[in-house]
Structure 1
């Protein structure tokens, strides 16, 4: 079966879409929640909405298992980079499932933070909300998703925060949130550079 496309299901997104993503993680019955169920419950299927959903799922899981949503995050970021209008996910990814109770606990903890974030998000710095910059954001999401796939100390959580910032900025058309995403992306790059340098020094010491 051909991969499913996710056209926008609502008018242009607002900051309230963040709460809608949390609702998508807790809606329904059963011990397991599949990606298809979460996507079906999601009110906003733009790139921002799907990235936010996948990132929250990744943060529900320990670093090793976060590769399950990390791979689709890589795919969605790549689609943004290539200029695709709407995200899509293959059927075998949509069939993946995770523990609903764990998702509900994460959503409950995140809800007060999301409520505070929603109060400050607003459309601004419109020059950053352009197709060209969206492609660059897609490139950054590709890089950050790698840190969700490969469990590296310090980088998993920081990359997740960067993806959340990019998703919030895309949903609310908030350029300041996108800048926060870039700051966290640069931070991940800096931490990775320090880790590589330390590994090289260690290798020289033992060789």
Structure 2
């Protein structure tokens, strides 16, 4: 998993995606991949994690598409690919610019709040072997999304864990990675309860 050393903010990533959506009239999965490929792989995990937590996540098949995107990106990152490959059917999935912008505006105050306490610290939790642990956990979380799509907005739980882990890598914040890993355990517990109770 190649990564550059510059940390990025959550609102900064969203701003770049909004600019891309405004330029093209919509935001395709392939556009997001193009925007961040070769940089920190964190944004490529944050984006789908964030989307399934917003009203966009209520659109049929969006959570499953995001789950497949996460599995492919994180899986290839485990093998050190700088530019993840995605099949055309995934790259061509997307959301309308207005829907994306409206969803982001609703969560922007929360994004700014999250950015206010992120910092570059405990970097050993987001570098070295931990990069692979984080990628593996994100894959596990993504695998829960297709079955959870049957429950309205249930994918927001693993989505939140993936968002925290992606943001941890993006901001190089090891403390946030710890929170993300704890959230992942909670997400697995919730998923297990829903699926087997």
The reply to whether TM is greater than 0.5 is yes
Which stretches in structure 2 are left out of the alignment for 5+ residues?
Answer: none
1:99 aligns with 2:91: no
Which stretches in structure 1 are left out of the alignment for 5+ residues?
Answer: 1-5, 199-207
- Asked whether the 8 Å contact 1:145–1:159 carries over to 2, the reply is yes
Alignment TM-score, normalising by the size of structure 1: 0.78
Q: CA deviation at 1:145?
A: 0.9
Q: CA deviation at 1:24?
A: 3.1
Q: CA deviation at 1:38?
A: 3.3
Residue among 134, 142, 147 paired with 2:144: 147
Considering only aligned residues, what root-mean-square deviation do their CA atoms show, in Å?
2.6
1:47 aligns with 2:41: yes
Change (3 A) 1:42 1:76: closer
Instruction: Mark the structure with the bigger radius of gyration.
Output: 1
Alignment TM-score, normalising by the size of structure 2: 0.82
Q: State the alpha-carbon separation in 1 of the partners of residues 51 and 106 from structure 2.
A: 13
Q: State the alpha-carbon separation in 2 of the partners of residues 193 and 100 from structure 1.
A: 35
Q: State the alpha-carbon separation in 2 of the partners of residues 91 and 163 from structure 1.
A: 22
Change (3 A) 1:89 1:24: farther
Change (3 A) 1:170 1:31: same
Q: Which residue of 2 aligns with 1:70?
A: 67
Q: Which residue of 2 aligns with 1:88?
A: 84
Q: State the alpha-carbon separation in 2 of the partners of residues 43 and 19 from structure 1.
A: 18
